[in-house]
Structure 1
Amino acid sequence: MKILWVDDHEILCVALSEYVQTHASELSVTPIEVTPVFTLASALEEVSKTPPPDLVFLDLNLDGENRGTTTLEHFQAGNPSNVPVVICTGLAPGNDDEVEILRACMRDYSARGILLKGGAHKKMFIGLSRILGGELWIPEEVLMRFACSTQTPSPGGNQHHLGLSLREWDVARCIARGLSGKQIARELDVTAGHVRQVSCVIYDKLQVRNRVEAALKVSAELALGSGSNKGLS
């Protein structure tokens, strides 16, 4: 697997690249080759090569004028092979504006995941493993912030959202909030086994592979509902 790591903090970029290569056997079943680059221009040059890299880890603040979603927008515009892009960022999930930047990266510019530079080492390692295994990955604290602004219930509580039954929708909303299976079971007063069973049905109906993808899809539906409510008020 060929990975392109893009970050204008050269020491950090090289260190992260070396870390991934050193722990390649723990992170992926396939050999990993990481190329560090420090500018957006260099990154665009690399993804235009034949063959292109298999995966890109992209910092959002590059080259002065390339900051936030602008960086990803410019990168995707010059990404002819649609190489999957993971955001590796120092943005803080506690900041509302920065959370919206991360949300836009996932929603509008097809990012394949998010890694937080300031996150716990163990969580970042888990995220890397999941991403290299082909999964979409978002840290739990970011998922919970995504859900915070989408908790307003839509009118007509008996509507079936996304083709889910009322019970499935209750579980799906809990998934979007980042709750674990045990937490969902306690909140809804059901067994953990029931939550697992319903979750599998939800994944199948939403045509997603895991909790993260389900949470993103449900959060988007909740956001649409919140927007409708604002328009009615």
Structure 2
Amino acid sequence: MKILWVDDHELLCVALSEYLQTHASELSATPIDVTPVFTLARALEEVNKTPFPDLVFLDLNLDDENRGAATLEHFQAGNPSKVPVVVCTGLTPGNDQEVEILRMCMRDYAARGILLKGGAHKKMFIGLSRILGGELWIPEEVLLRFARSTQAPSASRNEHHLGLSPREWDVGRCIARGLSGKQIARELNVTEGHVRQVSCVIYDKLRVRNRVEAALRVNAELGGGSGPDKGPS
């Protein structure tokens, strides 16, 4: 697997690149080759070299001209092969403006996941492993903030949203809030087994692979927008 890691903090960029290569056998079923780069211009050169990278990790604040969602916008404009991009950022889910930047990256610029540099290291490495395994990954705290800032539609409007039945929609909205299976069961007064069964039906109907992708689809529906086009699972 060929990876491009883009970050203007050169020490961090090189350290993370070396970590990935050293622990490749723990994180991925295939060998990992990481190229660290420190500017957007160099990243655009590398992403267009053949063979193309399989995955790009992109810091959002590279210099005065490339900051926030604009960094990903500029990168995607120069990424004609649509190499998947994961945002690796120091933005925090406690700041409304920064949460909106993360939402734009997922909704408008097709980011394949988010890693928080300021979060717990264990969570970040779990996210790395999931991403390298082909999953879309967003930290739980970011998903929760996405859910809190969406407006629920009226009951008459949401009855069959996304092709889900009313009961499936209830479970879907709980998933979008980041609730666990146990919490959903308690809130809806059903068994955990029922929640698992309904969740599997939801994943199948939405053509997603996991709770994160389902939460994104439901949150996009609640907010009236559309999530990134992930294609069929």
Q: Normalising TM by the smaller chain, what interval?
A: over 0.9
Q: Deviations over 1:55-105 (max 9, x none)?
A: 000000012110001100100011121100000000000000000000000
Q: Shift in Å at residue 160 of structure 1? A: 1.3
C-alpha contact (below 8 Å) 2:2/2:32 kept by paired residues: yes
Aligned ranges for residues 71-220 of structure 1 at < 5 Å? 71-156=71-156, 159-220=159-220
Contact persistence 2:13–2:36 (CA under 8 A): yes
| Contact 2:159–2:169 under 8 Å retained in 1 | no
Question: One-letter code of the match for 1:178?
Answer: G
Structure 1: which 4+ aligned runs deviate by more than 3 Å? none
Q: Deviations over 1:120-158 (max 9, x none)?
A: 111111100110000100000000000001143425266
Aligned to 1:66, the other structure's residue is in SS state coil
- For 1:146-174, what per-residue CA distance to the aligned partner results, in whole angstroms no more than 9, with x for missing partners? 00011434252662111111110000000
Partner of 1:63: 63
Query: Aligned partners of 2:158, 2:5: CA distance in 1, in Å?
Result: 47
Alpha-carbon separation, structure 2, partners of 1:74 and 1:137: 22
Aligned equivalents of 1:127 and 1:188: distance in 2?
29
TM-score w.r.t. structure 2 length?
0.94
* Equivalent residue letter for 2:145: R
For 1:229, the equivalent position in structure 2 comes to none
Contact between 2:130 and 2:136, CA under 8 Å: does it hold in 1?
A: yes
What displacement does 1:203 show? 0.5
* SS in structure 2 at match of 1:197: helix
Counterpart contact for 2:173–2:218, Cα < 8 Å? yes
Match of 1:228 in 2: none
**Unaligned runs of at least 5 residues, structure 1:** 226-233
Q: What letter is aligned with 1:183?
A: Q
Which stretch of the first structure deviates more once superposed, 212-221 or 147-156?
A: 147-156
Q: Give the residue type in structure 2 aligned to 1:5.
A: W
Distance (Å, rounded) in 1 between the aligned partners of 2:151 and 2:108: 21
- Helix, strand or coil: the match of 2:224? helix
Letter in 2 for 1:221: E
Change (3 A) 1:155 1:180: closer
Alpha-carbon distance between aligned partners in 1 of 2:158 and 2:28, rounded to the nearest angstrom: 45
Distance apart, 1:221 and its partner CA: 0.6
Structure-2 separation of matches of 1:195 and 1:144: 19
Identical aligned pairs, as a percentage?
86
TM-score, normalising length from structure 1? 0.94
> How far did 1:12 drift?
0.7
Match of 1:27 in 2: 27
How many residues are treated as equivalent by the alignment?
225
CA distance in 2, matches of 1:47, 1:179: 37
Structural RMSD (CA): 1.2
